[in-house]
Amino acid sequence: MESMMRNALLYLSKNRMANRTAKKYGLRFGAKRFVAGESVSEAIGTVKRLNEQGIVATLDHLGEFVGTVEEAELSTEACLHTLDEIERSGVRSNLSLKLTQLGLDLSPELCLANMRRILDRASAYGNFVRIDMEDYAHNEPAIELFCRLRERYGDTVGLVIQAYLYKSEADLARLSVYAPNLRLVKGAYKEPPEVAYPDKADVDRSFIKLIETHLANGHYAAVATHDDNVIEHTIAFAARNRIPLSQFEFQMLYGIRPQRQLELASAGYTMRVYVPFGNDWYGYFMRRLAERPANVAFVMKSMFKS
């Protein structure tokens, strides 16, 4: 039952018509719990509040289904504007983005040019940009683009590796030459068993292995999870292997386990919250619902209240 619901929600997350409707009607159905508003100023306000609690952030201007050069240009401008606003306001936040927002499906060269504009701006500010990882079809193009950017922009750019993919262990080894800053996650998309572990226990094992390998290699890891087993395991592994606190951080999504976020920050760990904003919230919101049926119950309640 749970897996049927998950599949249905992931399927719906890709529905263009629903996405268009959602954009028109604004943040609804409890999406406010996971999305920090539609404007950059609302998002910066949220980051300020997090910073006051000792938590840093990564801002994501939500954007999916980019189908034209003009839309990719608008997304690029939104990323540049977000970097400007981070700098202007002095909040402690970097930027996360998706390559399809910048036109990856239209042309890898267009996407590369847009990424260069964004990374030029981020370097000028001494900030950092993380490329989120999308579905399997975009995995290899994202890795290739990251390698090209990494040579020119060094530590200004980082990538994400998904534990559910069989290929990720080999990818981690391949990327190791760059000593990259990687966000490690379980993986949020619906992938077939030909490319991804179908069993949760295998995903969890792969996740732990990637975290240990990346840390043991001496590289920076952003461990992005709400799973206490993984968090505790990372803390114990780092302590046992004398891995300094400056070599890793924890990341969680805005609206999920805020109390745990505070606890980790208070215990001295770098805690970064992923803060999405913008009117293109539909796909992101549906993936969050797919991750946890309890969230669906929450949404149903908020639908009937409004």
Catalytic residues: 132, 183
From the list 5-13, 103-111, 138-146, 223-231, the region that binds ligand FDA by CB under 6 A is 223-231
Give 165's DSSP letter. B
Shortest distance, position 227 Cβ to ligand FDA, whole Å: 4
Looking at 78, 83, 129, 252, which residue binds ligand FDA (CB under 6 A)? 252
Between 153 and 254, name the residue whose CB sits nearer to ligand FDA. 254
Q: According to the annotation, is 116 in a ligand binding site?
A: no
The verdict on whether residue 186 carries a ligand-binding annotation is: yes
| Sole residue written with tokens 């999305």 | 35
**Closer residue to ligand FDA, CB minimum distance, 73 or 291:** 291
- Residue 215 Cβ, how far from ligand FDA at the closest point, in Å? 17
Instruction: Measure CA 262 to chain center.
Output: 19
* Site membership for ligand FDA, residue 132 (CB under 6 A): yes
The verdict on whether residue 200 carries a ligand-binding annotation is yes
Query: In whole angstroms, what is the distance from residue 39 CA to residue 57 CA?
Result: 16
Q: Based on the shown chain and the rule CB under 6 A, indicate whether residue 143 belongs to the binding site for ligand FDA.
A: no
Based on the shown chain and the rule CB under 6 A, indicate whether residue 78 belongs to the binding site for ligand FDA. Answer: no
Confirm or reject binding of residue 191 to ligand FDA (CB under 6 A). no
Residue 296 sits in the site that holds ligand FDA (CB under 6 A): no
Alpha helices in the chain (DSSP H): 2-12, 16-25, 40-52, 69-89, 108-125, 139-153, 168-175, 200-216, 228-240, 258-266, 282-291, 293-305
We find the least distance from the C-beta atom of residue 70 to ligand FDA, in angstroms, to be: 25
Looking at 25-33, 66-74, 169-177, 253-261, which segment touches ligand FDA (CB under 6 A)? 253-261
**CA–CA separation, 262 and 8 (whole Å):** 33
Rule CB under 6 A: choose which of 128, 274, 277, 285 binds ligand FDA: 274
Nearer to ligand FDA, 38 or 132 (CB): 132
d(C-alpha 192, C-alpha 35), whole Å: 29
Burial of 4 from C-beta contacts in 10 A (0-12 / 13-18 / 19+)? exposed
Length of the chain: 306
Q: Which residues pair with 275 in a beta bridge?
A: 59
Q: Phi first, then psi: what are they for 292, rounded to 5°?
A: -150, 110
224 binds ligand FDA (CB under 6 A): yes
Count of alpha carbons within 13 angstroms of residue 221, beta-carbon side: 30
Q: What is the DSSP string of 220-267?
A: -EEEE---HHHHHHHHHHHHHTT--GGGEEEEEETTS-HHHHHHHHHT
By CB under 6 A, name the binding residues for ligand FDA: 132-133, 160, 162, 185-189, 224-228, 251-253, 256-257, 274, 291-292
Q: Annotated binding site for substrate, which residues?
A: 98, 287-288
Q: Annotated binding site, which residues?
A: 98, 133, 162, 186-188, 200, 225-226, 287-288
